Amino acid sequence: CMVRHYKFNVVLKNTTRMCSTKPIVTVNGRYPGPTLVAREDDTILVKVVNHVKYNVSIHWHGIRQIRTGWADGPAYITQCPIQPGQSYVYNFTVTGQRGTLWWHAHILWLRATVHGAIVILPKRDVPYPFPKPHKEEIVILGEWWKSDVEAVINEALKSGMAPNVSDAHTINGHPGPVSGCPSQGYTLPVRPGKTYMLRIINAALNEELFFKIAAHQLTVVEVDATYVKPFKTDTIVIAPGQTTNVLVTTHRGGGKYMVAASPFMDAPILVDNVTATAFIHYTGSLTSAVPTLTSTPLKNATSVATKFISALRSLNSKQYPANVPLKIDHSLLFTVGLGINPCPTCVNGSRVVASINNVTFVMPKISLLQAHFFNIGGVFTSDFPGNPPVPFNFTSTQVTNFATKQGTKLYRLAYNDTVQLVLQDTGMITPENHPIHLHGFNFFEVGRGLGNFNPETDPKNFNLVDPVERNTVGVPSGGWTAIRFRADNPGVWFMHCHLEVHTTWGLKMAFVVDNGKGPNESVLPPPSDLPKC
């Protein structure tokens, strides 16, 4: 295996989109940022140098970070942020993983523009479990705000209300033509009769997305860097944090075809409704060719999303088995949803908050991993509730019990414990989708349903044979999803909604996994350049 060195200079860069220019925070002046390429089992060293006025940290979303929690990146969870003028070397090994993942800033809302792809190739001489594509392309979906993104969230926090939605979605950094601003957008050149693999990443802050290419079928082969049983679809659904690899075989002919991304949100909330567009362009066709257009499903097309999500199965081959935990040590039920807390200085005298099991997570002042490793008291408590505080009908709006408790509470697991976690959306204010991301692990999505989870009947229908394995799962609006994982990675691991606004409001918690007794079952000491708070 190799050691791969990267240097990330975090710098401001004037960038023009939608006919206006603003300085944005970038890595190496690029938006989207540079791609990390490695092979399974390689070690990656990324030196991040902070040249901007904000505190910065970078997360390697989906990298398991076995025993290297110090390199995981979420600010105040596994490290103090890198302060202006400082640097930090993230040092980790990609153990037993291959596929598409991504990296992003993990502090404030900087990930709006600070993100990029991670491509992990299989070990040398190990083929893909599908025919080798002619070419591979990265497709990063995102959101663009005309105003300063930090100002958007700071204004919302001050007022206690929801932040402004973005002004456009983007495909590889470009919205395509939007009203009042003609621009080409991103174009992918293709040759006829060839198969391409698109590595699609949803880097948007706040929206699940539909993705579609006019007159071309997509064959899904991988999600979140785990292989799935291939299936064909014309539309994919992808939540913030998730990645999806698809194969696209081009026609014999030529022409130009629209690529489109638009929001999927089956809740009555504000979303940016602008469809991002790009093109695939067959070589030899005129650039002026009239493109074949397409339209994506409506934003509340739940049936399209459900059909896509239900089709996902892990490959579960001899080489890539699905090791679903069958015996469960911790059976947990977490509610995820929004609430309202008093706020005398806010516009309505109250603020929107979010919680898990009625706990609105409060960020600590030093990192939780440091507090855990060095046994520093007073930073967190280990009493995160394994079940909701009171039994209630989760999916009907209730005017009582809006208020949440605040705390920096963690749930403690012994090394190698197995966990079944049911994530139940609540309708305290309104039911909403919640893409929940767990750091440090992959999990299996063993079940999913609408309404309230029924502990008597629903587990009978769990798929314990070939459930999809991933690191970010969409909890359906007004419904639930059940995941299972094995706590075989010691450290402190963040779990949160990957809609950035919900994370900001407190829809987050962390698991602490104690060291095991074996020689390779403990957190290693921190590197000497670990940032100080």
Nearer to ligand C2O, 275 or 503 (CB): 503
Site string for ligand C2O, 61-80 (x = CB under 6 A): x------------x------
Closest residue by Cα to residue 249 from 348, 80, 131: 131
435 near ligand C2O, rule: CB under 6 A: no
User: CA 177: distance to chain centroid?
Assistant: 27
496 near ligand C2O, rule: CB under 6 A: yes
Nearer to ligand C2O, 77 or 152 (CB): 77
Closest residue by Cα to residue 162 from 376, 486, 432, 518: 432
Q: Segment near ligand C2O (CB under 6 A), from 81-89, 116-124, 168-176, 493-501?
A: 493-501
Nearer to ligand C2O, 74 or 116 (CB): 74
Nearer to ligand C2O, 74 or 526 (CB): 74
| Smallest distance from ligand C2O to CB 111, Å | 7
The answer to whether 313 and 320 have CB atoms below 8 angstroms apart is no
437 near ligand C2O, rule: CB under 6 A: yes
Q: What DSSP assignment string belongs to 233-264?
A: ESEEEE-TT-EEEEEEE--SS--EEEEEEEEE
For ligand C2O, the binding residues in 372-431 under the rule CB under 6 A are none
- Which two structure tokens, joined as six digits, stand for 199? 């590595």
- Which two structure tokens, joined as six digits, stand for 231? 């299936």
Q: Which residue is nearest to ligand C2O (CB)?
A: 61
434 near ligand C2O, rule: CB under 6 A: no
| Smallest distance from ligand C2O to CB 481, Å | 18
Q: Segment near ligand C2O (CB under 6 A), from 173-181, 187-195, 224-232, 492-500?
A: 492-500
* Distance in angstroms (rounded) separating the CA atoms of residues 351 and 498: 20
- Which residue of 88, 494, 505, 511 would you call a contact of ligand C2O, by CB under 6 A? 494
For ligand C2O, the binding residues in 104-143 under the rule CB under 6 A are 104, 106
| Smallest distance from ligand C2O to CB 437, Å | 5
Nearer to ligand C2O, 101 or 197 (CB): 101
Burial 445-459 (b: 16+ CB within 10 A, else e): bbbbbebbbeeeebb
* Distance in angstroms (rounded) separating the CA atoms of residues 384 and 261: 38
Q: What order do you get walking across the sheet with 479-486 strand by strand?
A: 405-407, 359-361, 350-356, 330-342, 418-425, 479-486, 443-450, 469-470
Nearer to ligand C2O, 59 or 212 (CB): 59
21 burial (CB, 10 Å; 0-12 / 13-18 / 19+) is exposed
| Run of H or E residues at 501 | helix 500-505
241 near ligand C2O, rule: CB under 6 A: yes
| Smallest distance from ligand C2O to CB 510, Å | 10
* Distance in angstroms (rounded) separating the CA atoms of residues 84 and 51: 6
Nearer to ligand C2O, 188 or 239 (CB): 239
Nearer to ligand C2O, 67 or 104 (CB): 104
Query: Interface residues with ligand C2O (CB under 6 A)?
Result: 59, 61, 74, 104, 106, 241, 437, 439, 494, 496, 498
